[in-house]
Amino acid sequence: MKLFSFPSAALEKAIAKRLLTLEAGSREWFAERWAQKPYRKSFIEKKAMPLVVFIAKGKNWSDEEFDQELADWDANFYPAEVDVLRPIAEGDGLLQLMQKKVQPERLAKLIAHIQARTLHGLA
């Protein structure tokens, strides 16, 4: 789904900023993993960047294209990761300009997809 080039440094900065506002348990869990380069790289490439692509490009896709790309996004999420990604999907900070024309139904589908693929009890 590499259709959009978004600076990963800006995304990392947004995630680090979000990390500061997490609840204690989620913050500890995520910070421990975020400090590891392999996890950070994987999280950016497989979870955060695809979310940015959906927000940036998804508004121009047909419903079929959007649903197909969403079905192809096979990442699983831990609860703390959802806590980090949800505000990004909902318009926190750097993505607000990109989200101006995103249909609310599509944002709802994105959040529902992330919630449905959350690995409960494994954190």
Instruction: Provide the residue-wise pLDDT of the chain in tens; the chain has 123 residues.
Output: 444 556 788 888 888 888 988 999 999 999 999 999 999 999 999 999 898 888 888 878 898 999 999 999 999 999 999 999 988 777 655 455 455 567 778 888 888 899 899 987 544
* 31 in a structural domain: yes
Chain centroid to Cα 10, Å, comes to 13
Please tell me the predicted confidence (pLDDT) of residue 123. 46
* 3 in a structural domain: no
Dist CA 78 CA 98 (whole Å): 26
Q: Count of domains in the chain? A: 1
Task: Show the domain range for 48.
Answer: 8-116
Please tell me the predicted confidence (pLDDT) of residue 40. 94
Please tell me the predicted confidence (pLDDT) of residue 43. 95
Please tell me the predicted confidence (pLDDT) of residue 100. 58
* 27 in a structural domain: yes
pTM: 0.81
* 41 in a structural domain: yes
Single-letter amino acid code for the residue at 120: H
* 45 in a structural domain: yes
Q: Which two tokens stand for residue 109?
A: 């589908």
